[in-house]
Chains A and B, each alone.
Chain A
């Protein structure tokens, strides 16, 4: 949540001092750069594992309607809280619903929310951060102070306020997470902007009469977007954890939705009963695995894009 975001902020702020790479020229150069990047990425074992796992998770999520052994909402009050095994791979929950089916459904939900949140906060954050960084002065101050307001609010209050105002549901959770997530992307983008707009190639482009818009889009953006692009993968993991934490506190999706955070919440209710730990361990492992996979991919991307680490 907040801590992950701030770490990325600090990491990237530290990166600002690097000399910017050369201005993007022709397409052939980009293609071989891409191949280069992929080669470096493949060498990183952890990153490859992450990529494969992400791929599998996405596949499972897409195929969920077809491969789910039971309807995740289907209750069976005569077979509640049964341990893994037999008809039910991961056992059943307090309403007799098949935990494995619920896990698959929860995966699908998590990825959807994660992706939507990432897109939403990246779009909003990049746009505002670019304006803040490039324009400077007043727009910078206004936008940065707005991010301050959002970041200063204790996370829980902000989330509760948003969800209470708009009601509970998947869309509202996405809205809440985007509202809470865009400031980090904006700061990241702004930091990059600040560093790169003073670069020589920008001066060169300006001297031949290129407009601000052209400079931003064609010259600065391709370089500036890099850390944001990397962060976007981490942010998917962050969004999944955030949604689960909100569900743990009872805020978010409708109560009988098989969402991982809710499953953990329900599992924790059973925590004092012997032998029911599987109820919260499976969804926790799910969250952990998803976050890790995306984090490894992000790490791998960063290492492979960094020209110094050969």
Chain B
């Protein structure tokens, strides 16, 4: 009797489960009846304007969160978190505004000789380090040699490559940079191995900071590494508390510009990145926050009406790295077909809820002088043209395509969407793989690698050359075809005309001429050859506590501009 009751219950439940589902599979169409006649809404949120910088007043504590940096000492600061702290502890030869505009730093003016192999920086006198020691050309020489020394084993020393004497220091056969002349304390003279008319832009990177004589070697004087003494508008208020936080306070003796306004800055080190920052902003812990992608719409609708929202396109580009020397994407036609088969707007609207803007170039709009709108003609979605080109290029349905991305960085969804589009639109067979970042890098470097890889790039120096050269010049491959690449041009794109345009630009003193050379180069690499496939511009969103503070903006490296922030 009981047995029957059980059987009946079981049958009932199963029947319910079956009834709840249709017996034949529906197709997943959703809100539109026919995909093709409804034009996809064009994606992207408008940028918020930069605030007018007003004179501030002393006082206040600014709080935000970052993840644990690798280093805050200029000798090894590498990722954006570490560079953020270093940038405000130290001031270099030049300073750069949020739009890439260059201004004097410790150097009041700079100029090169005619062939751009020798640079002379005139330094402001009377500026000091946080410990009272004076900042001279010797301080810069000391700092740069500290980075280049073999013993320091700096992972960012490559920025100094090109200065005479660098190779010797890296090999351990020299202890000074022969190319640096600091005999005049108010003048730093730099001699380069090869012409580089943009050398002065490099010094924007914190690795070129001056250090006091107490710094010593980073391997022996670890106390300095934990609590660097710099010459910037802020100084360390106690040592770095690992995995806990970093406290900064205003350096009242700052003479390079006006002293900072904030009394102190509390940088909390979070464990869960963006999630913690957003939660922290919501509960009032932080005055500045990044957000995880899924919450962007919600956050924007909450905070934009309150004037606490920032959207800016920044110095960076998201793209697909293409292995251009191997099938199936070894022809420009094939690459263009692929690019035109990707509906960027649909992905941005669906996956990113409209928070990104589709790319139409490699050099991003954040470089207003160099940006060429629409130089990537194949970045527009055009299914018919894509199919036509695919046929011509031999990219037939059933062709296998390898597609890799790095895990734990939020790329799972959009890459799956791209895969789906390529399979649906071009009939390709895409094998999607998620691996650790280092493994993906390793895979990209191998001579036999094929297909596409998720990639992103941000310039180290405020010049479009720092997009074009490291990513697409032949030198940046660094290895023959049968060996793994060592540079950042892992797609192995090589074009003589492109290379010679870049060479010309490097030796061109006149800035506007340089920019036009870069534009021509970009036209070849992206417009004609589609050497890589731009996807969407790097757009950054931030929450900023405008209730309490003024002058809130991102600097050129997407960090909060601590120097100008002030309480109301």
Mark A residues whose CB is within 8 Å of B.
Answer: 42, 48, 52, 55-56, 59-60, 63, 66-71, 73-80, 82, 87, 89, 92, 94-98, 100, 104, 164, 168, 250, 254-256, 266, 269-270, 272-274, 276
Contact = CB atoms under 8 A, between A and B. Distances in A.
Nearest to B405: A255
Contacts of B30: 76, 78-79, 82, 87, 92, 96
Given A48-B6, A59-B14, A96-B350, A75 B420 contact: yes
A67 B278 CA distance: 41
B29 A255 contact: no
B28 A255 contact: no
Contacts of A94: 294, 351, 413
Contacts of A266: 412-413
Given A77-B349, A95-B417, A272 B279 contact: yes
A32 B13 CA distance: 32
B396 interface: no
B407 A98 contact: no
Contact of B346 (A69, A78, A92): A78
B515 interface: no
A56 B434 contact: no
A157 to B, nearest CB: 14
Interface in B1-45: 2-3, 6, 9-10, 13-14, 17-18, 20-23, 25-32
A76 B436 CA distance: 28
A79 B353 CA distance: 11
Contacts of B87: none
Given A52-B10, A56-B14, A59-B14, A70 B417 contact: no
Contacts of B419: 256
A298 B549 CA distance: 62
A271 B61 CA distance: 30
B10 A254 contact: no
Given A55-B10, A79-B28, A87-B30, 5 more contacts: A52-B9, A69-B26, A70-B27, A77-B349, A272-B294
Interface string B263-282: 00000000000010011000
Interface of B: 2-3, 6, 9-10, 13-14, 17-18, 20-23, 25-32, 275, 278-279, 292-295, 297-298, 346-347, 349-351, 405, 407-408, 410, 412-413, 415-417, 419-420, 432-436
A75 B417 contact: yes
B405 to A, nearest CB: 8
B28 A71 contact: yes
B302 to A, nearest CB: 10
The binding surface of chain A is classed by DSSP as: loop
A254 B432 contact: yes
B2 A42 contact: yes
Contacts of A95: 350-351, 413, 416-417, 420
Nearest to A167: B433
Contacts of A48: 6
B114 to A, nearest CB: 54
Contacts of B13: 52, 56
B20, B28, B279, B416 interface centre (most CB from chain A within 10 Å):
B28
Closest 3 pairs (CB-CB, A-B): A77-B350, A79-B30, A256-B416
Given A56-B14, A69-B21, A95-B351, A74 B294 contact: no
Contacts of B278: 272
A98 B350 contact: no
B351 A70 contact: no
A256 B411 CA distance: 11
Contacts of B23: 66-67
A273 B298 contact: yes
B293, B297, B298, B408 interface centre (most CB from chain A within 10 Å):
B298
A269 B293 CA distance: 9
A89 B433 contact: no
Contact of B415 (A56, A77, A255): A255
Contacts of B298: 272-274
A73 B28 CA distance: 10
B25 A69 contact: yes
A26 B27 CA distance: 58
B29, B294, B405 interface centre (most CB from chain A within 10 Å):
B294
A55 B278 CA distance: 44
